[in-house]
């Protein structure tokens, strides 16, 4: 099997990790953690505006933003872009030290700051060529409602006793406070009250 992009170009998935033999998506619990997190995150990124377009037009003119087609970075710190702004990102990453943020939480913020400051790729930089091999043959990733329903299917609530995680000593293990411990304690402080 090979690696494929799902929904947006950029993040690559091992086909055997996310697809069942019949070509449908595997149940979430059968998908390894990293691809599962990316797949779930993709459902929230689909149909979102390009980050660069959004920085240019803002929320008040969001309808002028192009839809994102590409995702770079790690889940929750990713940059999503339209094809027209991908060269700006690639230039930042390759020539403006953007690669130093690879895998870091600041990845998206660093690109956004660079772009918002008016930086762009030179006109002669060109575009990125992608090879799409039958993109229509891939199933659409499940939507957020579908993922939520799948997660709820086998969910069994259980009580967690937080006391078992308590590191504080109990009962006889506790040392009682002495008068010396209490000497520095100011019990006469007056606090304002609501009236």
For 155-185, the pLDDT digits (tens) are 677 777 777 766 666 666 677 778 887 777 7
Residue 179 lies in a domain: no
For 127-149, the pLDDT digits (tens) are 766 656 565 555 666 677 777 77
For 97-116, the pLDDT digits (tens) are 999 999 998 999 999 999 99
Cβ atoms 38, 45 nearer than 8 A:
no
Supply the pTM of this predicted model: 0.68
Residue 167 lies in a domain: no
Cβ atoms 54, 46 nearer than 8 A:
no
Cβ atoms 145, 11 nearer than 8 A:
no
The count of structural domains within the chain is 1
Residue 94 lies in a domain: yes
Residue 64 lies in a domain: yes
Residue 192 lies in a domain: no
Residue 160 lies in a domain: no
Which residues span the domain enclosing 90? 3-153
Cβ atoms 40, 13 nearer than 8 A:
no
Residue 67 lies in a domain: yes
């Amino acid at each position: 099997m090979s690696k494929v992009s799902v929904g947006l170009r950029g993040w690559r998935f091992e086909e055997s990790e996310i697809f069942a033999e019949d070509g449908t998506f595997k149940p979430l619990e059968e998908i390894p953690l990293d691809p599962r997190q990316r797949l779930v995150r993709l459902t929230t990124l689909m149909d979102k505006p390009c980050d660069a377009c959004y920085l240019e037009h803002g929320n008040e003119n969001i309808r002028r933003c192009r839809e994102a087609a590409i995702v770079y970075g790690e889940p929750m710190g990713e940059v999503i872009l339209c094809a027209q702004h991908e060269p700006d990102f690639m230039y930042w990453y390759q020539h403006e030290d953007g690669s130093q943020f690879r895998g870091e939480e600041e990845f998206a913020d660093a690109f956004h700051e660079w772009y918002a400051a008016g930086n762009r790729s030179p006109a002669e930089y060109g575009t990125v060529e992608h090879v799409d091999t039958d993109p229509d043959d891939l199933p659409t990733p499940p939507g957020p409602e579908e993922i939520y329903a799948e997660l709820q299917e086998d969910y069994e609530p259980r009580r967690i006793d937080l006391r078992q995680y308590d590191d504080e000593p109990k009962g006889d293990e506790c040392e009682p406070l002495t008068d010396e411990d209490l000497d520095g304690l100011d019990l006469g402080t007056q606090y304002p009250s609501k009236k």
